[in-house]
Amino acid sequence: MLSKQYECPDCGGSEGYRSRRRNLLEKYILPLMMLQPVRCTSCYRRTHVSMFVHVPPRMPKLSAKGHAAA
């Protein structure tokens, strides 16, 4: 397996989440370079990391408890 752990280049944090692709560069060029935009959960720095780095998708805001999720 080629999956690696994410590490923020700024604060060294190991937790980040996938960020939305904002522009044409991120939508079309990053995938070609095998990169994905990731935001650090600690310092909120946005970086591009390899697609082989496992990063969870952004957590949807949890609303009222008890509502069964699909």
- The reply to whether 55 sits near Zn ion by the rule CB under 5 A is no
Task: Give yes or no for a contact between 50 and 4, defined as CB atoms under 8 angstroms apart.
Answer: yes
Residue closest to 38 by CA, chosen among 61, 15, 60, 59:
15
List strand residue ranges (DSSP E) for the chain, in order. Answer: 4-5, 16-18, 35-40, 46-50, 53-54
- The reply to whether 15 sits near Zn ion by the rule CB under 5 A is no
- The reply to whether 40 sits near Zn ion by the rule CB under 5 A is yes
Pick the binder of Zn ion from 7, 18, 35, 42 (CB under 5 A).
Answer: 42
- The reply to whether 17 sits near Zn ion by the rule CB under 5 A is no
Interacting residues toward Zn ion by CB under 5 A? 8, 10-11, 13, 40, 42-43, 45
